[in-house]
Copies of this chain bind each other. A is one copy, B any other.
Amino acid sequence: MCGKSKTEMEMRLQEPRVWMRYAYALKQIEWKLRWIDVELAEQKNRQIIRAMNGRLKSVDSIKKKLRRKGKPVTFESAEANLNDIAGMRVVCYFCDDIDIVADAIRKQRDLRIVKEKDYVRNPKPSGYQSVHIIVAVPLTCGAVTEEIPVEIQIRSVAMDYWAELDTQMCYKKSAGQIKHVEREICGYSAVIAGVDNQMLELRKRIEMM
| Majority DSSP secondary structure for residues of A touching B | helix
A122 contacts B by Cβ under 8 Å: no
Taking residues whose C-beta sits less than 8 angstroms from the other chain, chain A's interface range is 35 or more
Q: Is A143 an interface residue (CB 8 A)?
A: yes
Q: Verify if A164 is at the interface (C-beta below 8 Å from B).
A: yes
Cβ contact within 8 Å between A169 and B27? no
Chain B residues with CB under 8 Å of A191's CB are 195, 198-199
Q: Are A209 and B173 in contact (CB under 8 A)?
A: yes
Bound-state CA distance A188–B197 (Å) is 12
Q: Which residue from B188, B198, B203 sits with its C-beta under 8 Å from A169?
A: B203
CB contacts (< 8 Å) of A31 on chain B: these are 24, 27-28
Residues of B within 8 A of A125 (CB): none
Bound Cα distance A201, B140 (Å): 35
> A30: nearest residue on chain B (CB-CB)?
B27
Contacting B at CB under 8 A, from A129-186, are 140-145, 157-158, 161, 164-165, 168-169, 172-173, 177, 180-181, 184-185
